[in-house]
Structure 1
Amino acid sequence: MTATNLAPTKKGFPAGFTEEKLDETRIRLDTRRAGFSLEAPFYTDPNLFNLDMQAIFGRHWVFACSVAEIPEPGDYVTVDYGPYSLIVLHNDDGGVNVLHNVCRHRGARVLTDPQGTTGNLVCGYHSWTYSPEGDLIHASAPGEMTFDKSCYALKRAHGKIAAGLVFICLAEEPPTDFHETAKIFEPYIAPHELEKTKVAFQQNIVEEGNWKLVMENNRECYHCDGHPELACSLFPTWGLTDETIPPHLEDVWGRNQQAQASLEYRCRRYGLPYEVVEELDTRVGGIRISRESLDGAGESFSADGRRLSKKLLGDLPDFRLGRCSMHLQPNSWFHLLGDHVITFAAFPISASKTLVRTTWLVADDAVEGVDYDLEALTHTWKQTNLQDKAFVELCQQGAASPFYEQGPYMKSEYQVEAFINWYVQRMREHVG
C-alpha cells in the first residue's frame, strides 16, 4: 500500500492541513453545488485523500469480509486501506478480534499473509508473540531485563458481525446508529444464511481511480449499456421511473415491471422482505436495500437468468428470488441470490488508486464441478468489474485535467448524489 501521511497537526488534522487549507476545504464543502460532481481536488489531492482516511475510513463502520472467509476460530484475514492494516480474526466466542497489524516492538507487520489460520500471532521480525486477543505474551532476548508486557499489547479496533457480514471501525467511539442499520438489513440477508456458505472465488482488482469515483460508478446504472454480460440478467432500467424511461427501453421497462410483480408475489408467499428501504444520506450508517427481479428465468446472473449453482442457500424455498441488492456507505455493495452471494468492498490505496475486492460465496456443501462451474459462476461479474475499472479510470484521468469542471448528475443518478451528499455531511462534521 502507498504510504500516507496522517501525522496530525496541532489541531488533530493530517499533516499538510494548515489553517488556510482547512478553511479552503470547509468552503469547498459548504458551497458544494447540489446535484453536481465534486470539485477536482476531492478526487486528486493527496492531502484531501489523507483527510478522507481520517474522517471517513478512520471513524465509520467499514465492511471488511464475510464470515465465510474466516469460518473457524483462529482463521483471519488482513485488511488494508490507506495507511491502516488490520487483522480480523475469528475468536473462540464466535465473534471477531480486530487488531492493528503493527508490532509494538518496532512497528513491523505482524501477519503478512492476506488470510490464514493462526494460534498466537508471531511477528516475523523479532518473534514478539501475541495472543489472539492481542496481549503480548513473549518478548525476550539474552541479557534483556524484564519489562511490563501488559503495556505493549497490539492496539485494538472495533468489530462486529451482522447477518454473516463483518464490519470494523477504528474510532474510539464508533457511530452508534449502525445497530439500527443492521436491524434494517438483517431480515433481508438472514434467510441466505451466510454462516453456511464458503468462498468459491475471490478477485482483487486495483483501479487507477479515487475511491469516491469507484463508489459513484457503482451507485448508478446510467452506464449499464457498457455491461453486455450483466445486461443479460440485470434490467438496464434500474434507477429509472415511468417519467424517465427513454423510448428505446419502454419494452424492457414493461418486462421489468411484470417480473417485479411476480417476484413480490412469491416474496409475500414465502414471508421474505422485498420493499425498498433507502436511507443513503439520511443516517450515518447509510443504506439502500431491496429485493429486485432479474431478467430471463429470474434466478441468477447468467445469460438466460438460470441458476449457476444447484444448491439453494440457507432455508430459501425457491431459486426464483431475483437479487437482494444492498448498498452500504462508505465502501460496500452486495448481491444475494438463491444460489450464491457476491460481496464487494472498495479499499482506498491512494488518492488515485483503489482496491476492489469481489468475493463469490456458495453453499458450504456445494461441490465445484458437480454443483457449479466456477467459470460460469464468476463470468458476469468478472467482466463487469473489468469494464467498471475502465470507466473509473477514464473519470480519474478527466478529474486530473486542468479543464475538468463539475458536471450535473442525471435523474437516474440520484444514488450518486446521495453518496456524495453523505460524504459531504460526514466531512463537514469532521472539519467543523
Structure 2
Amino acid sequence: MQNEFDTTYPQVAAAVSAGDFQQGFALLHPALRFPCDLDDAQLADGLRALSEISTGLGGDKLAQVLQSLSADLGDARKLYDAGFECIEEGLSGIGATLLARANLSHPNQPGILAELSSALEGEMLYAEAADFIESASPSVLDDPLCCYLLAFDSLMCGRIERFREMTQRLRPNGDENIEFMKARLERVAGRIDALQPITRLDSRDLRGWHFALQGALLTHVASAGFEEGMTGRYAWLQDSYTLCRQGLQHLQEALAAIEFRPTRVVALGDRSSRILATAAAKLLNLPLHDWAEHPQGDELVVAYDLAQGPDDQVAALRAVQPGRLVFAHASVWTSVLPFVADITTLLYQSNVAPWDGGLRSGEGGGVEKTPPDESPEAELADKLLGTSFEPDNAVPFAQVTDLIRAGWGLSSFANGAQRELYLPGGPVPSSRFL
C-alpha cells in the first residue's frame, strides 16, 4: 500500500485542486482504512488531503482535527480526538487506523481501547477488536466497558467459550448501560446453550447464529455464492416473485411450527409491504387490515423490508406486544438496525423489489433499466401467489423447525420486552461491496 500511495496521492491532489472532493475521497479512503501501513510522512500527507476534502464537503470540525493531527502524529490526544471524530462521521476504518496508533503509543488505556473497538466493530472486524483487548494488560478487564467489549467482540467472531467467560466476569458496578448490555449477552448465552446440541454455530451456520444473536428466525439461506464467500447472504439482489413466493411458503410453515395462529394480517404502510401483505393474507386465508385500522389481538404484521416502512410504524414494532408477530421478507445485513423481524426471509446488502424495476439485457447486448410495474397492488399480489417455485436453500428448511423446537421459547417474540438490536456482521462472514 505504501508504493501504491505514492502513485495515488498525486491523483488525490489533482482531484482536490479541481474541486472534485468525492473523487478525491474515493481515491484516498482505501489507503487510510485499517489496517494501514503508510509511513509517517505518507500518513501526514493523507490526513492533510482528507482535511481539505472534509472542508470541501462541509465537515469543518473533522477538517480541523485532521489538520492539527497531521502536524503532530505522535500526540495520542490528537490521535484519539481525530479517531473519535472519524467514527462520528462514519469513517470507522480511518478512525481505527488513528486509534490503533494511539493504542500503540499509549497502551492499556481503557478509553483508547474502547474507542478502537467501536471503530473496528464499525468495519465488522470483531476478531481484531477482541485481539487488541486481549493483547492489553489483564488489568484492563477490570474496567467494565472493556470487559463487556471483549465479551461482545468474542461473541461476534464466534469465540463462544471466551464470550461466556467474559460475560460471567462482567460486573456492571451499578452502571445501568452496562447492566442493560450484560442482560443482552446473557440472553444470547441462553440461546447458544439451547442451540449447541442441535446446530453447529460455526462460521457457516447463518440461520443458527441469526437466531442466537437476534432471537429470530431466518428462513432462506441463499445457495448462490454460498461457497464463494457469501455464506447464505446476498450482496446485490434483484429480488424476484419466486423468492417472495418461497418466503411466504416458509412463513406459513414456520407459523405452523411455532403454533402461532394469527386472526388477521396487518400491512405496513409502504407499497411493497401492502403487496406482500395482500398475498400473505390470501395464502393464509385471513382478513387484511391497514396499519391505521387494525385492531389489537393475534396478528401477523407483514413488511417487505422494515427499512422501507413508515418510521412511526416501524418504531412501534420494536417493543414486543403479546400476540403480534412481525414478518419481513428482506433485511439489510450491512447496517445497524434497531431490530429485525421475528421471521425474515433473506438478508441483502443492496436490493430491488420485483415490482420496482431492475436491470435486463438490452437488444444491443448492453444492460438497460426496466421501469417499475405500476399495476394495482392486488394484481401484483395475485401474480406473486401464482408464481411456481422450487425450494432453494443452501441449508434445508428443516433446520428452521429444529431451531424452533430447541429455542423458540427463548426468542424475542416469546420471551422479550424488546426485539434485539441488530449489529452487522457476526461469526458468519460474507463478502460485501465497500
TM-score (norm 2): 0.30
TM-score (norm 1): 0.31
Larger Rg: 2
More contact order relative to length (CA 8 Å, sep ≥ 6)? 1
Q: Between Structure 1 and Structure 2, which shows a larger proportion of strand residues? A: 1
Q: Between Structure 1 and Structure 2, which shows a larger proportion of helix residues? A: 2
